[in-house]
Amino acid sequence: MYIEQAYKGLIDSWRYILGIVGIVIVWQFLGAFPLLAALATKEGGMSAMMSGNITEMSNVLGSNTFLFFMLLTFVFGLIAVFLVVKFIHKQSLKSLTTSRKKIDWKRVSFSFILWSTISVAFIFLDIYLSPEDYEFNFQLVPFLVLAVIAIAMIPLQTSMEEYLMRGYMMQGLGIITKNRWFPLLFTSLLFGMLHIMNPEVDKLGYGILIFYIGTGLFLGIITLMDEGLELALGFHAANNLTAALLVTADWTAFSVDSLYRDVSEPVLGWDMLVPVFVVFPILLLVFSKKYGWTNWKNKLTGKVLSKEEFFKLENLDNG
């Protein structure tokens, strides 16, 4: 009963409206101020800022510096989510995270290790099969700086997205609509649309949104089926961290000092679609076997319990 955990706080609709507005202001405006201030001190920074082009801003500041300030906006956003939940909704971080008695860090680590292993295997398999598409990009000092920034901040960035999308919004929309399918689909579509300004979309076209929306749908499914955010938190952190450290390209959001550089002509190919239509379904099977998932239809499309029904069941469980 993950969505119903919101009943442990205050659930008035106006609180969710106020909360979303507050999170967006802190994340997109206050969080962006350090980046804008840094750009303003550099030659060409103002024009890059006005263009809104990620590549131009990265060139002005340097890739690692730009990455730091870009990820810092998500740190502001994560703090905003936690403050909104604590002070506007009077809800605990635990109930925003999971329906279990306590946060299951073993689930986070299992998901992280599993997807890291698969991602690394896919990357090096592609390098082996198409060596002409990659060049070794390793430079010790820039890579070490990248590693420190990425390891410290990318999990915060991905956690912010999970706590906002699969946490705060999933619970809020579920409570308001009294069903599970709408928050699942809405947050998946919104997750994809939030990536529409990424450089990858400009290079590969809107077809790449299938990958982003599909990833959002996968993360939503594992959240609802597992009754908590733990698997999604581990998966998302692993996905972005391996991407940042291992392979970069001039046309990606993470154009940084990674181990390898993809120098191929960007095309929307099978490698973008296989995860959504092949790998993610296999992962759902793996997770379902490991954690004993059942009753898929009700958990993904069924109704959300009323507040009275939820607390009645919870009291029976505690009894």
Range of the domain at 150: 3-318
The pLDDT value recorded for residue 206 is 84
**Alpha-carbon distances, residue 223 vs 76, 247, 311 (angstroms):** 24, 28, 21
The pLDDT value recorded for residue 218 is 98
**Segments in the chain forming alpha helices (H):** 13-24, 33-40, 45-51, 54-61, 63-83, 93-97, 105-129, 140-162, 170-177, 181-193, 199-204, 209-226, 230-246, 270-274, 280-291, 296-301, 307-318
Instruction: Give the chain's domain count.
Output: 1
User: To 5 degrees, how large is the angle CA 256–CA 35–CA 140?
Assistant: 25
Q: What order of strands is seen across the sheet that includes strand 247-248? A: 134-136, 260-262, 247-248
Q: How many residues does the chain have?
A: 319
User: To 5 degrees, how large is the angle CA 8–CA 10–CA 13?
Assistant: 130
For each of the chain's 319 residues, which pLDDT tens digit applies? Answer: 899 999 999 999 999 999 999 999 999 999 999 999 999 888 888 887 887 777 788 888 888 999 999 999 999 999 999 999 999 999 999 999 999 999 999 999 999 999 999 999 999 999 999 999 999 999 999 999 999 999 999 999 999 999 999 999 999 999 999 999 999 999 999 999 988 877 788 788 888 899 999 999 999 999 999 999 999 999 999 999 999 999 988 777 667 889 999 998 887 777 778 889 999 999 999 999 999 999 999 999 999 999 999 988 887 776 5
How many whole angstroms separate alpha carbon 243 and alpha carbon 241? 5
CB-side exposure of 39: number of CA atoms within 13 Å? Answer: 28
Question: At 45, which amino acid appears?
Answer: G
Write b or e for each residue in 190-214: b if 16 or more Cβ atoms lie within 10 A of its Cβ, otherwise e. Answer: ebbeebeebbbbebbeeebbebbbb
Q: Measuring CA to CA, which residue among 62, 75, 63 is closest to residue 34?
A: 75
The pLDDT value recorded for residue 219 is 98
3-state secondary structure of 47: helix
pTM: 0.94
Residue 37, phi-psi category: left (phi > 0), alpha (psi -120 to 50), beta (remainder): alpha
- For residues 115 and 234, is the Cβ–Cβ distance under 8 A? yes
Based on C-alpha coordinates, what's the Rg of the chain? Answer: 20
Task: Name the maximum alpha-carbon separation found in the chain.
Answer: 66
Per DSSP bridges, beta strands 260-262 and 247-248 are parallel
The pLDDT value recorded for residue 200 is 81
Write b or e for each residue in 79-91: b if 16 or more Cβ atoms lie within 10 A of its Cβ, otherwise e. Answer: bbbbebbeebbeb
How many whole angstroms separate alpha carbon 175 and alpha carbon 3? 7
The pLDDT value recorded for residue 152 is 97
